[in-house]
Structure 1
Amino acid sequence: MTRSVLHHTVVGDGTPLVLIHGYTVDHRVLLPLEPVFADRPGWRRLYLDLPGHGASPRLSGPTSATALAEAVFDWIDAELGDRPFAVVGQSFGGQLARAVTARYGEQVLGSALLVPVVRWHGERTLPEETVLERDEELLARLPAADRELFGYVMARLTEPSWELFEQYVLPGLRVHDQAAAAELEADFLLPDWPEHKASEHRGRHLLVTTRQDALVGWRDQLALLGHYPRMTAAVLDGVGHNPQVEDAEAVRGLVGRWLDALQG
């Protein structure tokens, strides 16, 4: 583990792979991806904690999508210089990963976007039904705040899903800076789609969305395909807003094939 302007956890050696988590969680939400690398040496995984999340302090000024993107750019400049790298972004981190690809162009080998933020608030296209299973006895035992968050981001509200949520999602939720999060919620989108300011990126890209995502949906994300000619897209069924947690095996399979394509 090393520390920079942004706290980050480093695993492995080789080509840098920057992993950017979503809103109000921290890098732990992406750790279910780690088994992908067991038989894929040569990747130096850099798991970020965004400002105001995990072990990273909030920004000294106002928190916004633009400010967080600039913080990530500054970190990449300092940590990676001109080295080629790949990027993974989940949810809000998917929006930042898109900005990273637009900013660094051919230096970025490719990106994996897991349920990325594309639109927000009333502009989102969301599914009508999102919860597929409910364990009412379990839900009755949970504190109200935990129960609400659990139901918002998972499609199956069962004991196994709760155990995963408690291990990978809840720790970050409990330590984020709430004032910074409120500022970010009010200024959540970058001023323009990052793709609109950049030429088509011809690296290898992956998009993973889910049919039961009650937070960002899946239809809006498909518009990204036109900007990435070499993008593979998967829409998973039976999964909510944290597919790398709730259906880790499926997501690891997709991410593994993406990594193989980057090295191929």
Structure 2
Amino acid sequence: MRTTEDTLHHVEFGRGVPVLMVHGFTVDHRLMLPLESAFTDRSGWRRVYVDLPGSGRSPRLPAPVTADRTAAALMTFIDEVIGREPFAIVGISFGGQLVRHVVAELGAQVMGMCLLAPVVAPVGRRELPARQVLDRDDELLAALDPADRAVFSDIAVWQTAAGWAAFRDHVLPGLRAHHRDDARELAAAYMLSATPETRFTTHDGPHLLVTGRQDHMVGWRDQLALLEHYPRMTYAVLDGCGHNVHLDQPEQVNALLRSWLDALEAESAVDRALRAGR
């Protein structure tokens, strides 16, 4: 594991082709760490988990804090830490909006993109399913700290011991670490000024989009509009998943992620063979 002090805080695992992991709103890179399971027994990938500005251990942005300025900070980070080599990228929720911006900015340098429950439409214009709780342990909830119980109950579809353990380990640390004033400011300018897909026609390469059937925060229907811009995108809507799809159904999400990595590796092998034959 490596860290760098002079840029956005991040941690890295492995060596090889970079794959950048971008978390969502008011959390930090720890939300993404369960995805490490997809890289078990797989070499050749340098996983870079970043804390966005004002999150985790990263420095704050100067005011004003907006989606556009957060995206610009992420682009600077990519330039500093990844440079001009090809890389893959994964984004969840608000991070899913940011990684689409990266695709619009860098084009073919991005080998492929994985979106987990990405933000597509602004609040108030989203097509959302009804709120559902699939299982609830009232005794567990009663034993939690009231503040923790409130944030957990607000998002979790599995309000059980297993659901709480995943939330406690991967969501709650970031919720406690983010800068709340910055979050309030960002919430008022949460959407990018230009939808990324309006800046290009299509982006080739293997892409993956996973949403939750019970995601009452960003939904799963609005994301269908992305498919026309990514002709090789696999789209899965998983039952038994709320907004944190990879925590609710980790085996299914990691299986899809492994298949996506297989496709990226195959694509790279074809490219190398074609270049060698020139």
Bin for the TM-score computed over the shorter chain: over 0.9
Deviation at 1:159, TM superposition (A): 1.0
Written as runs of structure 1 = structure 2, the 5 A alignment for 1:168-207 is 168-207=170-209
Q: Where does residue 3 of structure 2 map in the other structure?
A: 2
Determine the C-alpha separation between the residues in 2 that align with 1:247 and 1:31.
14
For the pair shown, which has the larger CA radius of gyration, 1 or 2? 2
Q: Where does residue 41 of structure 2 map in the other structure?
A: 39
Written as runs of structure 1 = structure 2, the 5 A alignment for 1:97-108 is 97-108=99-110
**Residue number among 61, 64, 83 corresponding to 1:62 in the alignment:** 64
Q: Which moved more, 1:138-147 or 1:48-57?
A: 138-147
Determine the C-alpha separation between the residues in 1 that align with 2:23 and 2:99.
10
**1:141-187, Cα deviation, whole Å (9 max, x unpaired):** 22232222212222111111001110111011011000000001110
Q: Where does residue 169 of structure 2 map in the other structure?
A: 167
Deviation at 1:32, TM superposition (A): 0.5
Q: Which moved more, 1:254-263 or 1:142-151?
A: 142-151
Determine the C-alpha separation between the residues in 2 that align with 1:59 and 1:129.
34
**Normalising to structure 1: TM-score of the pair?**
0.98
Deviation at 1:245, TM superposition (A): 1.5
Deviation at 1:193, TM superposition (A): 1.3
Q: Where does residue 27 of structure 1 map in the other structure?
A: 29
Determine the C-alpha separation between the residues in 1 that align with 2:106 and 2:259.
23
**Normalising to structure 2: TM-score of the pair?**
0.93
Determine the C-alpha separation between the residues in 2 that align with 1:138 and 1:38.
32
Give 2:224's aligned amino acid.
Answer: L
SS of corresponding position for 1:233: strand
SS of corresponding position for 1:52: coil
Determine the C-alpha separation between the residues in 1 that align with 2:112 and 2:59.
29
Written as runs of structure 1 = structure 2, the 5 A alignment for 1:1-264 is 1-3=2-4, 4-264=6-266
Give 1:131's aligned amino acid.
Answer: V
With a CA cutoff of 8 Å and minimum separation of 6, indicate the structure with the bigger relative contact order. 1
Q: Which runs of 5+ in 1 are unaligned?
A: none
Q: Which moved more, 1:115-124 or 1:42-51?
A: 115-124
SS of corresponding position for 1:77: helix
**1:197-245, Cα deviation, whole Å (9 max, x unpaired):** 1230001100000011121111111111111000000000111111112
Determine the C-alpha separation between the residues in 2 that align with 1:245 and 1:59.
29
**1:94-125, Cα deviation, whole Å (9 max, x unpaired):** 00011011110000000000000001211011
Deviation at 1:38, TM superposition (A): 1.4
Q: Which runs of 5+ in 2 are unaligned?
A: 267-278
Give 2:33's aligned amino acid.
Answer: L
Deviation at 1:130, TM superposition (A): 2.1
Deviation at 1:78, TM superposition (A): 1.7
Q: Where does residue 270 of structure 2 map in the other structure?
A: none
Give 2:3's aligned amino acid.
Answer: T
